[in-house]
Structure formats: C-alpha cells, structure tokens
Amino acid sequence: MCSIPHLQGPLSRRKLAAPVANPLFRPPHPASEGVPDELTGIIAGIQATNQQLRELEQNYQAVDSSLFVLQEGAEQRDEQTAAYRDALLQLADDLEQQEAEDVARAAEQARLEAEARRLEDIRREEAMWREMDELVAAASAVQVLQAGLAVAETSAAALAGAPPIKVDVGVQLQTKPGQEVFLVGSHPCLGEWSAEAALPLTWTDGHVWQASIEVPADCIDLEYKAVLRSPNGNVLWEKGNNHKADLLGISDVELFHVFQG
C-alpha cells in the first residue's frame, strides 16, 4: 500500500511571516487627513489580502495535520495488513502440516489394518492345519482301534475253543478260631466284588488259605482282594490296591500274597 507522503514545503507546519512593508504604503497618520480615497482603497485591499493569506496558512496547517493523521492511520493499516498476512501464512503452514500428519496417520492405519488382516489369515490357516491334524489323528486312532478290534476278534475267535485257565490262589493269614478267608474280585467266580458272593478259601499248613478256580481262556486279566469274615458276620477287607494278574497267553498260574491287614 502506498503511504501518503507527509507534506513538506514552505506552508507546512509554519506560520506566515509578518507582511512585508510596502514602501509605497504609508499608514494613515492622524495628522494626514488629506489622503486620497484611491490610496485608501489600495491599503484596504492589501490588508484584506494579508488576512486571506493568514486564513490560507491556517487552512494549509489544518490540511497538513489531517494528512499526517491519515498517513499514521495508513501506516497502522499497513502493519495490521502485514500481521494478517503473516497470520495467514502461518495458518497455511499449520494446515499443510496437519494435512501431512493426516496422510501419515491414514497410511499407518492402512498398514495396521493390512497387518491385522495378515495375522487373521495366519490364524485361520493355523486353525485349518490344526483341524486337519486333529482329523488325521482321529482317523489314525480309528484305524488303530479298528485294528485292535480285529486283533481282539481274532484272538477271541482263537480262544473260543481253548481250554480254561487254571488259577491257584494262596493268601497267608494267621486267623483266630471261627474266622474265615474269602477271595473277592472282578470275575463272576469271585463274586464280582460282592463279599456275600466271594469265593471261600481253605486253610492249609503255614496259615495259607488256598483255592483253585478256572476262568475262560479269553479272560486276559484278573483283579482280586482277600476278605476276613468273623463268626459274628463282620467282614474286614484287605487294605491297599487290588491285586492284579495278567492271564493273556497263560494256561495255568499260581497267585500268592500275604494278607494286608
């Protein structure tokens, strides 16, 4: 913006000099009463002109002051305009930086979403492989079970015509008169764990209670315990875990243990 130049000149911020004396003018002297009317008019005109010059000087001073105020206002507006321009430039920089940050955030969000999709695909693939492994394992287990069933069926068919297995059982226990020892266990001949249906044993030398049983050839194992029955009907079960006998492929077997009271 163009600023208004401050007025400079002979009429700027100065007062008019005193009127220059006219050599031809002579002020009326009280003693001079015979001055011609024409000369009196010239003198009055000069005085009027001087008055007009003084008024013009005052007008010029007023105009000069107004122009000075206008110039100061213009300079202030120039400063405000420059401040507004700087603010707009800063705002443009901020907007540009904000836009760049928004673009960066959008790119990062897209990258995270792509990574999440990739991880989800990996998880789905891993789950699919796990399911496939489980299916393969289940199929293998079914095959093994089927093979075991086939072997069991073959073995059962082979053992169907085989002679029974003879089992001799001995339990060492020193009893009191009237007490008896029985054998109870998993096989029907042992009462299937019922003390009332247990197999009675016979006392022999050395306080060994004995009995002999026969089980089918397809009986592959046998679990049992000894029980002590008193004359009053009280039954004392043998403590500890069940005794076990593996009968697979055996024709005759002898079982002996000490009563665990």
pLDDT tens digits, residue range 43-73? 888 999 999 999 998 988 888 888 889 988 8
Mention every residue, 6+ apart, whose C-beta is less than 8 A from residue 189. 199, 213, 214, 215
Structure tokens at 109: 């969000």
Residue 119 confidence (pLDDT) above 50: yes
Please state the rounded mean pLDDT for residues 206-210. Answer: 96
Q: What is the pLDDT of residue 169?
A: 95
Split at pLDDT 50, 70, 90, the class of 34 is low
Residue 249 has φ and ψ, to the nearest 5°, of: 75, 15
Contact (CB, 8 A) for 251 and 215:
no
Q: By mean pLDDT, which of 26-40, 82-96, 142-156, 197-211 is the weakest?
A: 26-40
C-beta neighbour count of 18 within 10 angstroms: 7
Helical (H) or strand (E) element with 75: helix 37-160
What pTM value is reported for the model?
A: 0.41
- Which is more confident, 237 or 146? 237
Give whichever of 11-25, 42-56, 61-75, 223-237 has the largest mean pLDDT.
Answer: 223-237
